[in-house]
Every structure is written in C-alpha cells, then in structure tokens.
Amino acid sequence: MRDRIEPLMPADPARGRRWADHRRTLEANAWKLAVRVRPGTVVGLGLTTSAAGCVVMGAVGNGTAFLVTGVTVTAAGVGTVALLATDIVLAAAPPERAGAASAVAETSTELGAALGIASLGTLSTVFLRTGLPSGTPAADTLGDALREARDHGTTAVSAVREAFAQSLQLTLLTAAAVLVATAAASFLALRNIRIGEEHNTEADRLT
C-alpha cells in the first residue's frame, strides 16, 4: 500500500527525521500492531477505548481533570481507528483503483463525522429540553435558555445549567454505547481479515 503513495509524499525533513511527521509514525505503529493481532482487533480496541473516554466524561466525575482525560482517551481510540481504516481500504483495493478507494474512504469519513455530530447534537438538545423542570423557560439554545432564566431568578438559572450538564452526560453515555456496538460489529466483520507481512516493511523503517 505504502509504495503506491510514497512517490507522492514529500521527502523526510532533516530536522526530526523519522519523528518529524507524527502521523506517519503513529500510522506505522498501528500497522505493526494490526499485522500481529489482526485489523479487527485493533479497530475494536480503538473504538472501545473511545467508548471508555466517553464514559469518563459522562459518568465518572466532573471537573477539568476528568474532561481532559476523557477527551484524550477518546481521541486516542478514534485516532487509531482513523489511521488504520483508510490504509485497510487502500490495501484491499487493486492498484488501478487506489485513487477511487481513497476518495470513498475520505467521503465516508466526512459523511460519518457530519452525521455523528448532527445526531448527537440533536440528541443532546432533546435531552436538554426534556430535562428542564416545568415552569423553566424553553429555548432553542443554551444561551437563550440562560438569558430567559435570568429573568426568573437564580433557581431557574441553576435548573438550566443542571439540565444542560445532564443532557451532555446522557449524550456521552449514548455515544459510548454506540461505540461499543460498533466495536463489536467491526471485530466480527474484520475477524477473518489479515494484513500481510509485506505491509510491515515501511512500519519497521518509521519506528
């Protein structure tokens, strides 16, 4: 796979050498792991790791430390899957269709991200509206709700903030459940796929 796109990439910079491009280094490590334990296992573990990060943010506790930890863990899992998924698509496509395969993978990534953001955003809004106590002013956004609540006293403001926090927690837990289900589906779908040792030459050079 790498030999198809290597000629199109810039030469390694003098400074930093093999560690100058972090993405290529991470990609190489993901490939080495996938060669040893199967791609389905790596993808499943990555998605499960992201689910764990969502649980940390949504259920374990509040505060900056939990937020930073949860975001870091979630990004690590998603990053592993993102780095490996495109390469799996390119490796499965014949050389003459590598460009089309890359375009499909990129389009799928963008479409999935847009649908995920829209779905979770809508879900969070629904949780927020249903979580507001009776008598609390309704609004389309958190900012509007807080502006309306300030006219009704500090109790209404606290209720809006609490409802918003609960809506985020429920949304994150829902996302975690979806990630776990996707991890299981990915593991089963990719369980019989192996990456050949020939793909590991570039990974050994980078790491």
Mean pLDDT is lowest, of 88-92, 104-108, 169-173, for 88-92
Which range has the worst mean pLDDT, 15-19, 119-123, 141-145? 15-19
Give yes or no for residue 190 having a pLDDT over 60: yes
User: What distance in Å separates the CA atoms of residue 195 and residue 175, rounded to the nearest whole number?
Assistant: 29
Mean model confidence pLDDT for the chain: 77
99-116: burial string, b at 16+ Cβ within 10 Å, e else: eebbeebeeeeeeeeeee
Domains along the chain with CATH numbers: 2-10+19-206 (1.20.1250)
**Which tens digits make up the pLDDT trace of 40-61?**
888 899 999 999 999 998 876 6
- Which tokens belong to 205? 């050079």
